[in-house]
Amino acid sequence: MKIEKTVFKNDKIGAEYTVFHHSSGLDIYVMKMEGFSTVNAAFATRYGSVNTTFKTSEDDDFVTVPMGIAHYLEHKLFENEDCDVFELYAKTGANGNAFTSFDQTVYTFSCTDNYLESLAILLDFVQDPYFTEASVDKERGIIEQEIKMCADSLERQCFYNLLKAMYAKHPVKIDIAGTVESIQQINAELLYKCYNAFYDLHNMILVIAGDVNEEDILSVCDSHLKKSTDKGLEVSFPDEPYEVAQPEICENFTVGTPLFNIGFKCDPAKGNDLLKKHMCANVLIQLISNSASPLYKKLYEQGLINNAFSSEVFFGEGYFACIFDGESNDPLKVRDMIIEEVERIKREGIDSESFEIIKKSAYGSLVWEFNNTEICVNNLLGAGLMKVDLFETIDILAKLTEQDLMDNIDTLFDTKRVAVSIIQN
């Protein structure tokens, strides 16, 4: 089969990877990491819980399906017509798994031997769905228990409540697995419809990292990838209001110290714009609240936060937010102090010393990640699904200026778009 090949290299950190554009429509990312025992692989589609409204060239109009199908599909693909996929992996010794996020479904394996056989299994089962009403029904009980298990993790519950508070219409506000009610509507026909729309190789990527051989990988791909025609997939999202849906959301549950999530809702972005926006948000969120920041010191020394405090930049198709989370007896005071600190930085500008330290630290973290095949696969997956070069992050970081941050702080930390989620006794 005809294959286009592009090599991406970064001499500073001594790493490179290759992207093959396979004639089946699939982009294949390979990172050779000599000396590592483990091979990690991921076969992913740009399909997550938020993709509930879509059309292909075969549809006259957009269709909307119940919440939780992407995750349900992930469960069901592990069952072939004649056997369970885990039985196949068991023969190679690979550890197979999968996860569904808001905007992607990813099938993975890790192994120390027989990686080509495991790769063949991965490619085969993801391309070969087999659902019957009976098998779909059987899975419902398992997924119900998964939803209930997640509801018993209060940190997770607090996060989902924040999304409900921030987003009025975007489906990111619903649990990835859907609800016990929404999954009752899922049947084999709906699963096939969604599978056929989103599991198109043009909408997917394959990533593999470890001490591997590119030619061998391509040979397995040639034999196991099915020819795929671009189905002209389009996804649609409801118009999300600029403002947060509700500034505060509070739920009572038996908890140690009250839990909080504080989110700044931002406009979404795509491609290289998203990469730069993500980097700006990441550096800003650290300037505002990392453990060397003045705000962290104040919050911690006043007993308003404890060791559980952290922050993250959360983004995907149609959503982007800067989120702080932790435990506090006064979450609203924490929110107010974060807002005060954001306003102070907007007024006084970026502290140059802190900025340089954070850049250096971020560089260290980026290099560090090349220590581990699993992290490399995850990072390549993120970059590949966004259609950007993984090493671009390092260049963007190197070129990032204080002015870039000041240009972005108003939109990334708009103090009129803040929501807080609290779980307390």
Residue numbers annotated as active site:
74
CB of 341 to another protein, least distance (A): 14
CB of 217 to another protein, least distance (A): 19
Contacts (Cβ under 8 Å, ≥6 apart) of 361? 286
Specify the long-range contacts of residues 391-394, CB closer than 8 Å, at least 24 apart: 391/8, 391/9, 391/10, 391/15, 392/272, 392/275, 393/275, 393/279, 393/366, 394/10, 394/12, 394/13, 394/363, 394/366
| Nearer CB in complex with another protein: 3/149 | 149
Euclidean distance between the first and the last CA atom of the chain, given in angstroms as a whole number: 61
Residue among 195, 181, 162 nearest 319 (CA): 162
| Nearer CB in complex with another protein: 59/374 | 374
| Nearer CB in complex with another protein: 176/201 | 176
| Run of H or E residues at 168 | none
User: Is 151 exposed, middle or buried (CB count within 10 Å of its CB: 0-12, 13-18, 19+)?
Assistant: middle
What is residue 369's three-state secondary structure?
A: helix
Residues paired with 20 in a beta bridge = 5, 28
| Nearer CB in complex with another protein: 274/334 | 334
Residue among 412, 398, 155 nearest 286 (CA): 412
| Nearer CB in complex with another protein: 59/211 | 211
CB of 108 to another protein, least distance (A): 13
| Nearer CB in complex with another protein: 127/257 | 257
- Count of alpha carbons within 13 angstroms of residue 207, beta-carbon side: 23
CB of 89 to another protein, least distance (A): 8
CB of 387 to another protein, least distance (A): 27
CB of 296 to another protein, least distance (A): 8
CA dist., res. 417 & res. 413, Å (int)? 8
Q: What is the dihedral of CA 119, 124, 144, 187, to 10 degrees?
A: 160
375-408: b or e for each residue (b if 16 or more CB lie within 10 Å)?
A: ebbbbbbbbbbbebbbbbbbebbeebeeebbeeb
